[in-house]
Amino acid sequence: MHEREKNRVQAYLDGKLSRRELLRDMSALGASAALTSTLIGLGSTRAFAAGFDAMQHKGTALKLLLNKHPYTDALLANLEAFKAMSGMEVTYDIFPEDVYFDKVTAALSSRSSEYDVFMTGAYMTWTYGPAGWITDLNEWIQDPDKTHPDYNWEDMLPGLRASTAWNGIPGGALGSADAKQWCIPWGYELNNVSYNGPMFEKAGVSPPGNMEELLETCAKLATDLEGVYPIGVRGSRSWATIHPGFLSGYSNFGERDLQVNEDGTLSAAMNTDGSKAFHRDWVKMIQDYGPKNWSTYTWYQVGTDLGAGASAMIFDADILGYFMNGGGNKEAGKISFAPFAANPAAEAPTPNVWVWSLSMSSFSQHQDAAWHFLQWATGVEHGLFGAQTMDFVNPVRQAVWDDDTFRARIDESYPGYLHQHDVSAPGAQIYFTAQPLFFDLTTEWAATLQKMVANEVPVDEGLDMLAESVNSQLADAGLR
């Protein structure tokens, strides 16, 4: 049954067929898209099972806690393949992103053993890890009895491996030798410029490469395009306003959020001269060229405006531009991508990253089985499946980025995407200082930005006040 379909899928996995040819052939054979995905998943999972006792946890039941996300869709599309390969039962709960982390926090803080594996962001593990809610995965990664010989941990992009490992000491360098691996990178986003190609063409401008060019490009777009604002960035009173484009540009000038002193204490570093200069440009950019109600802008508004043709570009997550280039968006197919190094003197972009990762609950009753699942879910085979056939981007493994089928798919429909990633990936990592007050301090930073944009406080004065407040909070927490 399905032998001919299986042969076509195998040819695709072997690189003998393009994705388009596969879909055309499968369609001619009467196979649905769902069946095609399942067969690809089964084919790629066979590679994972080779040379390893894939059935060692047969009969064990795992439960996952997942966020409603395209990464989750890719996992679910391939989950049957894992169940067939491992003999394990895997159930899951999916919650909307808006309430997802409330659910995770409630489950972990109540020491619930209901969930074995869950999705998380690296920043969240700075709370979960020291609280003892999640497990240091180094124990499994380093154990040859529990880890597939071809798991190839080193294949994970180094910036992401480091970004998801922390020693738990406030100010401790991410990825240090004594760091604990709190989660495994699963999919990630870095921050560059996504822009509307036809709009740029109409205004006769090229994508900007640095902050100076960005302001010039915005000025031209503002003059030449009617009813469109030049650039979208986030602005709500939340940590999420600081971490994408803003911190990526900020870090490119070598600026930091906090200074780690010789005695291990921390102090605010956002009121240096360099920081003030960057803030002045950023505030001017929003005031002159940003959306009118910028202070309410989150991921959704920034993306929706680009997709609906209300903005000409965004300096935000590359995958936000990726998503807006598809779906039912008005501007689908018109979005292009470019690397952005805010500092003209910088050699390359230094994008801060958001890493959707998978963690193992400390309260799981089936940790070995959970690791078995984690290996598969973060392995090359599932990564290839998701990247080739679904929206499991950005991949976290070099092997997937090197895959011709994946590269051809992206190159065909997302102009400039591969280039912006290839140029930026070496410098892509978390640029925040890991410490327990992360969410409080970055939220206050966003609030200060709002005041600056609203002209309630001058940039220099605002940053001095912010630094004073940050220092006071660090002192109260015993970190200064």
Partner 1 sequence: MQHQSTFERVLRGVLIALVLVFFMFPIVWILLMSFQTNEQILRIPPSLLFEPTLENYRALITGRLETHAGTLDIRFMQNLWNSLILSVFSVALALVLGVPAAYAFARFRFRLGEDIAFTLLSFRFAPPLLVLLPLTLYFQDLGLSDTYVGLVWVYQLICLPLILWIVRGYFEDMSPDIEHAYRTAGHGWLTTFRRISIPLTAPGIAAAGLLAFIFAWNNFIFALVLASADKQPVTVGALAFVTASGIQYGQIAAAIVLSITPTLALALYAQRYLVEGLSLGAVKG
Does 309 help bind partner 1 (rule: CB under 8 A)?
yes
Residue matched to tokens 């020693």: 167
Does 9 help bind partner 1 (rule: CB under 8 A)?
no
| Of the candidate residues 29, 111, 216, 413, the single one contacting partner 1 (CB under 8 A) | 111
Distance CA 249, CA 343 (A): 7
Minimum CB separation of residue 113 from partner 1 in Å reads 8
Minimum CB separation of residue 204 from partner 1 in Å reads 23
Distance CA 205, CA 220 (A): 8
Q: What letter would DSSP give residue 396?
A: S
Q: How many CB atoms lie within 10 A of CB 214?
A: 24
| Of the candidate residues 242, 319, 377, 434, the single one contacting partner 1 (CB under 8 A) | 319
Answer for the pair 211, 281: CB distance below 8 angstroms, yes or no. yes
Q: Closer to partner 1 by CB, 89 or 114: give it.
A: 114
Minimum CB separation of residue 9 from partner 1 in Å reads 18
Q: How many CB atoms lie within 10 A of CB 4?
A: 12
Does 34 help bind partner 1 (rule: CB under 8 A)?
yes
Answer for the pair 163, 430: CB distance below 8 angstroms, yes or no. yes
Does 292 help bind partner 1 (rule: CB under 8 A)?
no
Q: Closer to partner 1 by CB, 29 or 33: give it.
A: 33
| Of the candidate residues 212, 330, 440, 475, the single one contacting partner 1 (CB under 8 A) | 330
Give me the amino acid identity at 445.
Answer: W
- Residue 262 CB contacts under 8 Å (≥ 6 apart), including other chains: none
150's enclosing H/E stretch is none
Q: Closer to partner 1 by CB, 117 or 463: give it.
A: 117
Scanning 113-194, the segments in alpha helix (DSSP H) are 122-128, 138-141, 158-163
Among 108-116, 133-141, 253-261, 411-419, the segment contacting partner 1 (CB under 8 A) = 108-116
Minimum CB separation of residue 169 from partner 1 in Å reads 28
In the region spanning residues 398 to 437, those forming contacts with partner 1, defined by CB under 8 A, are none
Among 18-26, 82-90, 177-185, 322-330, the segment contacting partner 1 (CB under 8 A) = 322-330
| Of the candidate residues 97, 347, 402, 461, the single one contacting partner 1 (CB under 8 A) | 97
Minimum CB separation of residue 354 from partner 1 in Å reads 10
Question: Is residue 455 exposed (0-12), middle (13-18) or buried (19+ Cβ within 10 Å)?
Answer: exposed
Backbone angles phi, psi at 4, to 5 degrees: -65, -40
Answer for the pair 103, 340: CB distance below 8 angstroms, yes or no. no
| Of the candidate residues 391, 419, 457, 480, the single one contacting partner 1 (CB under 8 A) | 391
Spacing of C-alpha 358 from chain mean position:
12
Q: Which residues pair with 93 in a beta bridge?
A: 65
Does 55 help bind partner 1 (rule: CB under 8 A)?
no
Among 98-106, 131-139, 232-240, 339-347, the segment contacting partner 1 (CB under 8 A) = 98-106
Q: How many CB atoms lie within 10 A of CB 277?
A: 15
Q: Count interface residues toward partner 1 (CB under 8 A).
A: 43
What does each C-alpha distance from 381 to 13, 16, 33, 76 come to in angstroms? 10, 17, 19, 14
Residue matched to tokens 């220099």: 460
| Of the candidate residues 96, 132, 254, 344, the single one contacting partner 1 (CB under 8 A) | 96
* Pairing relationship of beta strands 311-317 and 184-196 according to DSSP bridges: antiparallel
| Sign of the alpha-carbon torsion through 210, 212, 213, 214 | positive
What's the maximum distance between 2 C-alpha atoms anywhere in the chain?
72
Minimum CB separation of residue 14 from partner 1 in Å reads 25
Answer for the pair 238, 301: CB distance below 8 angstroms, yes or no. no
Answer for the pair 174, 163: CB distance below 8 angstroms, yes or no. yes
Does 177 help bind partner 1 (rule: CB under 8 A)?
no
Answer for the pair 358, 140: CB distance below 8 angstroms, yes or no. no
Q: Closer to partner 1 by CB, 195 or 392: give it.
A: 392
Q: Closer to partner 1 by CB, 95 or 153: give it.
A: 95
Backbone angles phi, psi at 169, to 5 degrees: -90, 125
Q: Closer to partner 1 by CB, 223 or 413: give it.
A: 413
In the region spanning residues 209 to 268, those forming contacts with partner 1, defined by CB under 8 A, are 227
| Of the candidate residues 29, 50, 61, 106, the single one contacting partner 1 (CB under 8 A) | 106
Of the candidates 243, 244, 268, 240, the residue with the CA atom closest to the CA atom of residue 256: 268
Minimum CB separation of residue 1 from partner 1 in Å reads 23
Minimum CB separation of residue 33 from partner 1 in Å reads 7
Minimum CB separation of residue 226 from partner 1 in Å reads 11
| Of the candidate residues 103, 202, 237, 280, the single one contacting partner 1 (CB under 8 A) | 103
Minimum CB separation of residue 334 from partner 1 in Å reads 14
Binding site for partner 1 (CB under 8 A): 33-34, 68-70, 73, 92-99, 102-103, 106, 109-112, 114, 227, 299-300, 303-304, 307-310, 319-320, 323-324, 326-330, 332, 390-391
